[in-house]
């Protein structure tokens, strides 16, 4: 079925309309040319007939008589001939001539209404005689109609044949698209092989490359969803079991023991909430585009994060010092930088002993870089532990959900930065977040 919903149909309709208009213009031009040339040929025949009659009249006049005979069977109803004197008297006429005067006062071609019909007349004067040859215009008109009909039929047949060839050619040209469609339809969800470009269809290669890029993003999205599902199953199993156990204990006991079970269930619920927040943040950052509000100076951003965590810092009795960063602008969105810095600070607060010192420094890295350095005095990490600390789900000796630093690593990779783990002088962990400076990329 040909319709605007099909590419092949739209191509055929567009090409068909273009060809129809072109062939129509060609038909009109050919009809005009054929009509003009045919009229010229018929006029020349009229003139030749008149001149032939003049020569015959001269011979017959020399023998003493004039007689015209209509041979009949001539095209277009035959040519009628008439011989008259200069005063208008009819001396002779052919059997097919009308009962009226054909000759005109001047020599040459003319059209006259004689005997109720329109005639095309050629008149020639020879001495004291006028010879006129004529034919009916109706015959010419009928003949031209036949020529126009034949021309129209030929052009229509040619147009239909052209459309059939166009239909076939378009179908052949669209076969690479059909092959590409079959490739996509037959692919499984776990098939990570790139689509192959159809042979002989270089125009489709940009689309194939785009599809391969899109399929890669789909695979990444599916992989993120699977990781999120696995992480949720892993991270929620223990808190849920703890909450259920503590609630059962609270229901079966009374007094202080029941209160301790209720508090333990509440703490497990809080840990569960933190795990969900971290997992959802990680899932969002895995798939989010790297765009957003430009980051303010690092000193301003760090001050805002410290204000958010002021309550937790006070609960731990930590001594926090922050310096530098007034003129350091990382080339990364504010939201992603804030999440990374916050997660590093929360990790440092969680693992720092009560009353310990916590240091934050915002430093330039040459002309093109900047960094946020967070030093704590907690238990620190061994070299082997530092290699695994950025993996999703890994927990150190201090517990936690095993997601905070994994989120930081994801953000740093997406924003063109880098996270480094090292030892703090006197014991503890130093985390350095490095970014290129705004304007350097």
Percent of the chain with pLDDT over 90: 7
Sign of CA dihedral 228, 231, 233, 237: negative
Helix H, strand E, coil C: the string for the chain is CCCCCCHHHHHHHHHHHHHHHHHHHHHHHHHHHHHHHHHHHHHHHHHHHHHHHHHHHHHHHHHCCCCCCCCCCCHHHCCEEEEEECCCCEEEECCCCCCCCCCCCCCEEEEEEECCEEEEEEEEEECCEEEEEEEEHHHHHHHHHHHHHHHHHHHHHHHHHHHHHHHHHHHHHCHHHHHHHHHHHCCCCCCCCCCCCCCCCHHHHHHHHHHHHHHHHHHHHHHHHHHHHHHHHHHHHHHHHHHHHHHHHHHHCCHHHHHHHHHHHHHHHHHHHHHHHHHHHHHHHHHCCCCCCECCCHHHHHHHHHHHCHHHHHHHCCEEEEECCCCCCECCEHHHHHHHHHHHHHHHHHHCCCCCEEEEEEEEECCCEEEEEEECCCCCCCHHHHHHCCCCCCCECCECCCCHHHHHHHHHHHCCCEEEEEECCCCCEEEEEEEEECCCC
pLDDT value for 9: 76
The 10s digit of each residue's pLDDT in 108-166 is 999 988 888 889 999 999 888 888 989 888 888 888 888 888 888 888 888 888 888 88
pLDDT value for 280: 65
Rounded Cα–Cα distance for residues 45 and 151 (Å): 23
pLDDT value for 224: 64
Burial of 305 (0-12, 13-18, 19+ CB in 10 A): buried
The pair of three-digit structure tokens given for residue 202, joined into one six-digit string:
């270089």
pLDDT value for 371: 93
Domain at 292-436: CATH architecture = 2-Layer Sandwich (3.30)
Question: 222 Cβ partners below 8 Å, 6+ apart?
Answer: 189
281 φψ region: left (φ > 0), alpha (ψ -120 to 50), beta (else): alpha
Q: Do domains 203-282 and 292-436 have the same CATH topology?
A: no
pLDDT value for 75: 37
Cβ(46)–Cβ(111) under 8 Å? no
Report CA-CA distances (Å) from 370 to 218, 319, 328, 339, 365. Answer: 34, 24, 6, 17, 5
The pair of three-digit structure tokens given for residue 125, joined into one six-digit string:
């004067």
Burial of 350 (0-12, 13-18, 19+ CB in 10 A): middle
β-sheet bridge partners, residue 373 = 361, 432
Rounded Cα–Cα distance for residues 282 and 273 (Å): 14
- Domain assignments of the chain as residue spans, ordered by start: 7-167, 203-282, 292-436
- Within 13 A of 169's CA, how many CA atoms are on the CB side? 9
Which residue ranges of the chain lie beneath pLDDT 70? Answer: 1-5, 58-77, 189, 200, 224-225, 227-239, 241-242, 268, 271-293, 392-404, 440-441
88 φψ region: left (φ > 0), alpha (ψ -120 to 50), beta (else): left
Give the total residue count for the chain.
Answer: 441
Rounded Cα–Cα distance for residues 24 and 26 (Å): 5
Instruction: Calculate helix-pair angle for 298-308, 334-351, nearest 10 degrees.
Output: 50
Let me know if domain 203-282 sits in CATH 1.10.287.130: yes
The pair of three-digit structure tokens given for residue 288, joined into one six-digit string:
């989010």
pLDDT value for 63: 54
The phi and psi torsions of 95 (rounded to 5 degrees) equal -60, -30
Q: How far apart are the first and last CA of the chain?
A: 55
- Within 13 A of 28's CA, how many CA atoms are on the CB side? 5
**Look-up: residue for tokens 């054909």?**
102
Rounded Cα–Cα distance for residues 262 and 247 (Å): 6
Q: Provide the Cα torsion 252, 258, 264, 270; round to 10°.
A: 90
Sign of CA dihedral 56, 62, 63, 64: positive
């Amino acid at each position: 079925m040909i319709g605007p919903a099909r590419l092949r149909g739209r191509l055929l309709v567009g090409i068909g309309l273009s060809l129809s208009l072109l062939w129509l213009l060609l038909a009109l031009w050919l009809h005009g040319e054929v009509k003009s040339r045919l009229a010229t040929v018929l006029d020349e025949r009229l003139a030749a007939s008149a001149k032939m009659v003049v020569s015959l009249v001269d011979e017959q006049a020399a023998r003493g008589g004039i007689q015209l005979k209509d041979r009949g069977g001539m095209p277009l109803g035959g040519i009628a001939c008439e011989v008259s004197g200069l005063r208008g008297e009819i001396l002779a006429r052919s059997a097919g001539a009308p009962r009226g005067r054909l000759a005109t006062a001047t020599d040459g071609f003319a059209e006259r209404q004689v005997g109720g019909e329109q005639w095309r007349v050629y008149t020639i004067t020879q001495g004291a005689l006028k010879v006129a040859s004529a034919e009916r215009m109706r015959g010419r008109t009928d003949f031209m109609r036949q020529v126009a009909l034949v021309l129209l039929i030929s052009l229509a047949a040619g147009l239909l044949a052209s459309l059939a060839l166009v239909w076939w050619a378009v179908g052949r040209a669209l076969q690479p698209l059909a092959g590409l469609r079959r490739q996509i339809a037959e692919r499984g969800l776990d098939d990570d092989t790139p689509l192959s470009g159809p042979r002989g269809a270089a125009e489709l290669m940009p689309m194939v490359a785009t599809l391969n890029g899109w399929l890669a993003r789909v695979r990444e999205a599916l992989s993120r969803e699977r990781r999120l599902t696995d992480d949720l199953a892993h991270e929620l199993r223990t808190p849920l079991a703890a909450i259920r156990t503590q609630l059962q204990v609270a229901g079966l006991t009374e007094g202080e023991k029941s209160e301790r079970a209720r508090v333990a269930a509440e703490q497990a619920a809080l840990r569960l909430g933190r795990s969900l927040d971290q997992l959802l943040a990680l899932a969002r950052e895995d798939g989010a585009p790297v765009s957003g509000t430009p980051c303010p100076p690092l000193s301003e951003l760090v001050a805002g994060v410290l204000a958010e965590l002021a309550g937790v810092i006070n609960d731990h009795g930590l001594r926090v010092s922050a310096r530098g960063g007034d003129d350091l602008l990382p080339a990364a969105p504010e939201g992603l930088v804030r999440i990374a810095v916050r997660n590093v600070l929360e990790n440092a607060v969680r693992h720092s002993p009560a009353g310990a010192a916590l240091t934050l420094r915002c430093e330039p890295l040459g002309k093109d870089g900047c960094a946020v350095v967070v030093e704590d005095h907690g238990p620190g990490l061994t070299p082997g532990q530092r290699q695994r600390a950025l993996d999703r789900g890994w927990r150190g000796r201090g517990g936690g959900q095993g997601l905070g630093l994994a989120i930081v690593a994801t953000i740093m990779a997406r924003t063109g930065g880098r996270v480094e783990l090292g030892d703090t002088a006197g014991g503890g962990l130093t985390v350095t977040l490095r970014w290129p400076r705004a304007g350097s990329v």
